[in-house]
Each structure stands twice: as structure tokens, then as C-alpha cells.
Amino acid sequence: MERLIVFDFGGTKIKHGIINDRVELITKSAYNTERERLDPFLTNLYATIDRYIEKYEVSGIGISMPGYVDIDTGYVERAGAITALDGQNIKEILEDKYGLPVEVENDGNCAAIAEKMSGNATDVDNFIVMTIGTGIGGGLFLNGDIYRGYRLRAGEFGMMVTYLPDDKKVELNHTAAITYLIAEYKKLKKIEGPVEGTEVFAEARANPEVKNLIDHWIGYVAQGVYNLTVTLNPEKILIGGGVSANPYLIKEVNRQINDFRYWHEFTIPVMRCKYLNDAGLIGAYYHFKRMRETIHN
């Protein structure tokens, strides 16, 4: 049975695992992301790959990561929050070191590919995935394929300006990311130190102030969903990222979006991704298989 090492490079965590040709994650784990320095980033990456190679017979490495990714060459002009990988080619670096085939794709595109292949978008050819994490990302699956755009920049939803307080232009990355919700929660509670999004949602059940905070934040998510829908008129929008596992998020987005003036003319299903936080890993697998089949054909 074929096995691949798969990675999902995130701004907070590097998720990784072994996946087989039945698309089963045999094992998965994560470690903290070194965002700024290339050498320690690679040291952590190599250590993880070395452990997998020692334990499993693997046939390649699939990577999901943020940024402007050239899937043919592997070159990444800009890697989102992971500035250590700006201007780098992780495909070449790993192929030279390990002699294994490596394929790299944008994380939002990986999520869309996963959902199309075996998730909640198998029945449509035009859909959007919006991922909520350290920032807002996503993938456009239009007319039956990923749409990458001119210079590979399509799907950077987080860069949309959706808020203009005092003439300051604030992007969706800052208002709708989970990091914004956590920052506002910590400000409200006057606390320091790390907080997980799950803690915020848990407290909201008994604390009306925290619930109002979450509802306000979800309003920004709904703005992004609405803008994408009226611009591209997809068949459905899927929301991914770890926070999408909470059913209240999807329920409240759908409630709030009905208040937008023209939603009734564009109404489509707004659902969560099937693969939630694993979408990048699953998508990295499908992308790897797709690229290798293209090469061999």
C-alpha cells in the first residue's frame, strides 16, 4: 500500500501525517511554526520527515502551504505569515535532500481539492472554500477546476478590505481571523497568555458578553461570505479551519447573512467543510496524486 508524508504549513502550527492510498490518515501530529527563520524551519521539517522515513516506507511528500505557489516549479514568491519561506522553493530543497518526489500547493486550494474529491463539494463544479485560521484564506473551484488567477494570487480573501473605521482600511484577515476573536476576548477578560478559540466558544454558552463578542466577529465572516457570493455566484460556499467544527459558527453566519439586502437574490448553501482542520493534509495528498499522474501521462 502506498503511503505519503503530508504537511499543512500554518501560521501557528505545522500539521503533518502519513496518509495511505485509501485516503486514511494513519497518524497525524503538529508542532509550532517557526515563521521567520529558514534554518530552524527546515531543521524541524527535516526531523519530522526523518522520523517518518525511519518508520514507514513512503513514496513522496505532499505539502499544503499559504502564499503564491507555483505548482509546476515549486517556487513560492510569498508565503503568507511564514516569511521564512518567502522566495524559497521547498519542493527543490526536499527533493534534493531526500530524493523523493515532492508536490506543493496553496493551502486554500488544497482545502478546495479535498472537498471536491471526497468532501462536501463532490456534487458541484463551482464552489468556494473559505478557511478561518491565523488569517483568512480560501480556494476558488470554478467551472470544474481550481482557479489560480493571474500571477497565482486568486483566493487571498483575507486581503479584502471590509471595514473602514476612521478612514483606516482594515482587511478581512484582521477582522474575521480567529486571532482577532481571541485578541478581543483577551481584551474583554483582561487576561494574558495563550487562549484557544474553543475556550471562547465554550464560555459564550453562559456569558452574554462573550456571546455578543462572537456574534460581532461572525458578522465579519458573513461579510466575506456575502461579498464572495455576489461577486462569483458559486453553487455553495464551504467554511473550513478548526473553528468551523463548532456548529454555532455556520448557524450564525447563515442567520446574519440573511440581513444583507440582496442575499435573497443570491442565496446558496453555506456549509462547513467535511475535513475541517484536516483539509490541508487531505488536499495535499490529492494534489500530489494529480501532479504525478499528469507527469506520467
pLDDT, one tens digit per residue, over 191-237 is 988 898 899 999 999 999 999 999 999 999 999 999 999 999 999 99
Enter the C-alpha cell of residue 39: 534554518
Does 297 score more than 70 pLDDT?
Answer: no
Contact 119, 279 (CB under 8 A): yes
Does residue 195 sit in helix, strand or coil?
A: coil
Those residues whose C-beta lies under 8 Å from the C-beta of residue 294, and which sit 6 or more positions away, are none
pTM of this prediction exceeds 0.75: yes
Contact 129, 111 (CB under 8 A): yes
Contact 286, 252 (CB under 8 A): no
Does 127 score more than 90 pLDDT?
Answer: yes
Tell me the pLDDT tens digit for each residue of 61-109: 999 999 999 999 999 999 989 999 999 999 999 999 999 999 999 999 9
Does 294 score more than 80 pLDDT?
Answer: no
Contact 62, 285 (CB under 8 A): yes
Tell me the pLDDT tens digit for each residue of 161-174: 988 888 889 999 99
Q: Identify the band that residue 124 occupies on the pLDDT scale cut at 50, 70 and 90.
A: very high
Cα distances (Å, whole numbers) of residue 170 to 99, 158, 177, 276: 44, 10, 12, 27
**Longest Cα–Cα distance in the chain:** 59
Does 133 score more than 90 pLDDT?
Answer: no
- What is the share, in percent, of the chain residues with pLDDT greater than 70? 99
Rounded CA gap, 128 and 142, in Å? Answer: 8
Contact 157, 111 (CB under 8 A): no
- What is the share, in percent, of the chain residues with pLDDT greater than 90? 86
Rounded CA gap, 182 and 297, in Å? Answer: 48
Does 241 score more than 90 pLDDT?
Answer: no
Does 28 score more than 90 pLDDT?
Answer: yes
Could you tell me where the beta strands, DSSP code E, fall in 165-251?
170-171, 236-240
Tell me the pLDDT tens digit for each residue of 12-25: 899 999 999 999 99
DSSP lists the bridge partners of residue 78 as none
Enter the C-alpha cell of residue 273: 467543510
Mean pLDDT of the chain: 94
Contact 58, 2 (CB under 8 A): no
